[in-house]
Structure 1
Amino acid sequence: MKKYMIDNYKNLARKFKIEGQLIKALRFYEKAYKQPGAKDDVELLLDMAINYDEFENEAMAEEKYWEVLAVDKEECRAYYGLGTIYDRQEEYYKAIEYYKKAIELNPIYDRAYFFLADSYEKINERNKAKESYKKAIEINNKDFWSHTNLGSMYEEDNENEQAYYHMKRALEIIPNHYMALFNMGVILKKLGRINEAIDYYEKSIMENEEYAYGYLNLSIIYKENRDYKNAIEVISRGIEYNPHVAVLYYNRACFYININLYDRALKDIITSYKIEPRLKRYIKKDEELNPIKAFKAYKLVFEKE
């Protein structure tokens, strides 16, 4: 009878969770937890830990994961859960320890490999990160984010053919994901495939008009080809959808300087500084901005003590 009550409350909690009623779900998990024998129910404790985590109550989530391990010290999901908590707390070495323990207990735990890779990347253990992403992919070759993140790492390390392979694979899994489309644009440009890069940046922008760096990178391609008209058109579109992104105004100012529209350039560079005051030292050192540095308005903003 007691086990029946625990299961009944768990089922009600799971029903409310599926419906998105997390507070009601937690209420029934807690009712189940009060029943005799509930503290030995690993599935209940794991459900509660996850639910607390979704409420950003990391202390209670951590407590429940430790209760799980007190019942079953070989429950890999509890070690994984602890790893995710320490990861968010930026205790990456501690997170790595728990992800590795989860993998030791379950060698095909692809999510543990994925987040292990992410933690290694955050502490700049790049080779270990790559190997962990590869392992996640070996277990699940349709893992979009493992392909995407691994491709990005290869691109950052100028291993561009490898980068292209993994980004292409990511786009076979989710063809219209803006980040993979953007990353493919970056890779293709580095491979000298400029027209294809332009196409992928445009596709990325279509999928997410509020991702500022799609406009930035595309406009820079046009600038490098001295096509300032298209560079300005693209980055102006970016500003329309991202009016608070300083780097867009900064770069448009540089484009305007190249076609001698100094008043517009000055207005943009001041706007970029107002949005992001830390840009001031870069602005003062940037020789491309020299044509506007004699303007009174420039001096009032950037040369005052």
Structure 2
Amino acid sequence: MIMEEKKKEEVTEDKVFRALRKQLLATPYSAPLHYNLGLAYARREQLDESITCFQQAIVYDPKLVEAYINLGGIYLRKGNLEACIEANQKALEINPNHPLAHSNLGFALIQQGKLDEGMAEYRKALEIDPNQAAVRANLGGAYFQKDDLESAIRENLKALDLNPSFALAHNNLLHAYRAKGDLEAAKTHCEKATELGFQVNPEIAKELGCG
């Protein structure tokens, strides 16, 4: 049954993809069509084609914030952090209050080792929209990298308040509590992360008697 549903989804996705390409032949200067085709290519893991489409969308609508953000996301998937940062910075020039652009920028900066700059972007994202579990967990992860265990625990617990089934937050808490010496709490979050399908470090799981 699940396989049949997945096949139906793939057929529908393929129809949408072909329809977008056909529409684009008729209206080649449509920014929304280029943007939507970029999303379709991204779902098909055709990242270079996706980049081209998002870039074309920007040519025809230079203020299409979502195109910059998704372009940055594709660059991140390709490991091009500088291009990801540039795309999200351009998005923020258009809309300084876009939480996703701030959080994506923060993630890329932290990947570059710029913890303080990245955390500042996470905080800006949360000022705009405090109900972002992923940003809370990522901010908590950054605090952990700075050895601020209390703040790491606080932010990840807030993430779980927003989404109790957020596996990354449980995994982050396992590491923070373990570093703090609270092995019982670490084991609890290890077990929860494992239940939710997160690939916990096997050596740490064995150490905690988890799984």
Shorter-chain TM-score: what band?
0.7 to 0.9
Task: After TM superposition, list the pairs within 5 Å mapping 1:189-268 onto structure 2.
Answer: 189-268=110-189
Question: Percent same amino acid among aligned pairs?
Answer: 21
1:247: Cα distance to partner?
Answer: 2.5
Distance (whole Å) between structure 2 residues aligned to residue 109 and residue 176 of structure 1: 26
With normalisation by structure 2, the TM-score equals 0.86
State whether structure 2 residue 97 is matched by structure 1 residue 176: yes
What root-mean-square deviation, in Å, do the aligned CA atoms of Structure 1 and Structure 2 show?
Answer: 2.1
184, 202, 205: which is aligned to 1:289?
205
CA distance in 1, matches of 2:108, 2:79: 9
Unaligned runs of 5+ residues in structure 2 are 1-8
Deviation at 1:196, TM superposition (A): 1.0
Report 1:44-123 matches (<5 A): 91-123=12-44
Structure 1 residue 150 and structure 2 residue 71: aligned?
yes
Deviation for aligned residue 1:151: 0.8
Q: CA deviation at 1:89?
A: 6.6
Question: TM-score, structure 1 length as denominator?
Answer: 0.61
Distance verdict in 2 for CA 1:257–1:130, change over 3 Å: same
Question: The residue matched to 1:183 in structure 2 has which SS?
Answer: helix
The ranges of structure 1 where at least 4 consecutive aligned residues each deviate by more than 4 angstroms after the TM superposition are none
- Looking at structure 2, the residues matched to 168 and 288 of structure 1 have their Cα atoms a distance apart, in angstroms, of 38
Shift in Å, 1:256:
0.5
| Secondary structure at the counterpart of residue 209 of structure 1 | coil
Q: Does the alignment pair 1:159 with 2:43?
A: no
Per the TM alignment, residue 186 of structure 1 is displaced from its structure 2 partner at its CA by 1.0
Contact 1:209 1:238 in 2 (8 A): no
Q: Aligned residue pairs: how many? A: 203
Instruction: For residues 238-287 of structure 1, give each alpha carbon's deviation from its aligned partner in whole angstroms, at most 9, with x where no partner exists.
Output: 2233333233122202211112101221232334455x2x34xx34x522
1:77 matched residue in structure 2 = none
Query: Which one-letter code corresponds to 1:266 in the other structure?
Result: K
Separation of aligned partners in 2, 1:250 and 1:225: 17
SS at match of 2:18: helix
Cα distance in 2, alignment partners of residues 162 and 217 from structure 1? 21
Give structure 1 stretches of 5+ with no counterpart: 1-87
One-letter identity of the residue aligned with 1:171: L
